[in-house]
Amino acid sequence: MVDRGLLYREWKQNQVVILLSIVFLVLANPLTVYHTYSQYQGCLAHSDPQYCTFTLDYDINSMIEINWVIGIILAVCLIGFERSKGTMDFLLSLPYKRSQIFQTKFWLGTFVIIISQLVGFLLAWLLILFLKPEQVNFFEHDSVGVMIISFMFYSLVVAAGTLTGNVFAQLLTAFATAVLPYLIIVLPFSNIEIITGIRIWELFPNIEYYFDFENKLMNFTPIGYVDSSWVFESKYLLIIPAVMGILFYFIGYISFEKHHNERNGYFFLWKTLDRPIQILVIVLGVLGFGIVGYSAGESIVGYMIGMVIGGVVGFLISYFSIYKKVRR
């Protein structure tokens, strides 16, 4: 599955990024514990001890909340930069199967993300045993959750890289996918509200049901996990990003295995995606700018003007992004 020669090649090519990623992911969790302990010691030195407590609240001030960013960086380095620089062409010409290349790249990044954070978790756990804080909130839940969410974002950006021909396209596709489930429901509903004058929340038994629906919708939207409020939810909520990460893995694997590299430099490697995505971008532009136009003056005229502007903007962005080849 993972070839040693390819693994060595990836290590040598991305050695600095991998080492910095490992250092950051290993130290983030124990540094969270030490930083809180330092604040506690500072409080003891300058205040009455009765007002000082050594409490670890991973839902408030945890350094590990941005660990998912490392997953994005690794995915861009392992896939996107190779596309943009043209080294992917050389790699695909070597006597390796496409599946071997993908599996080596994917599992190298996954190993760095998961194992490094596990080591950081162990170090933080030992620090907690040694320093003995008065209370520890969400330590295990937040630590494990961040691992899963880091894997999800890594898998998402890798999958985007297997569909696209350059770094910009990879990141834009990943971001669009991360917010798309929310947009394709909220934007149409918001436009229906403007046209009919009926508030969507009024269709629910009460306002609490509406907000509950909105929260559940965000649970199925990858970008929603950037906010650490998920830590207050049931631990079973983490099954959703775990499943999404696995789904993105299979999408990336199939795309890398089946799609050729002839369109290197274009937005999408698979030409069939060009037109449907362009139409989707235009539709979202029309709906989004329509809402903005209506909000500016709360009039149908502003709404129509906004839709026209959104259609033009969506067309120009999609045309110059999708159909124009990026020069190396």
The reported pLDDT for the residue numbered 210 is 61
The reported pLDDT for the residue numbered 203 is 62
The reported pLDDT for the residue numbered 218 is 85
- pTM, to two decimals: 0.91
pLDDT at residue 253 tops 90: yes
The reported pLDDT for the residue numbered 172 is 92
How do strand 55-57 and strand 135-137 relate by DSSP bridges?
parallel
Question: How many domains does the chain fold into?
Answer: 1
User: Is position 80 within any domain?
Assistant: yes
User: Is position 65 within any domain?
Assistant: yes
User: Is position 254 within any domain?
Assistant: yes
pLDDT at residue 208 tops 70: no
User: Is position 150 within any domain?
Assistant: yes
User: Is position 40 within any domain?
Assistant: yes
pLDDT at residue 202 tops 70: no
The reported pLDDT for the residue numbered 79 is 93
Residue ranges making up the domain that contains 219: 4-177+195-228+235-258
pLDDT at residue 246 tops 60: yes
Mean pLDDT of 112-121: 97
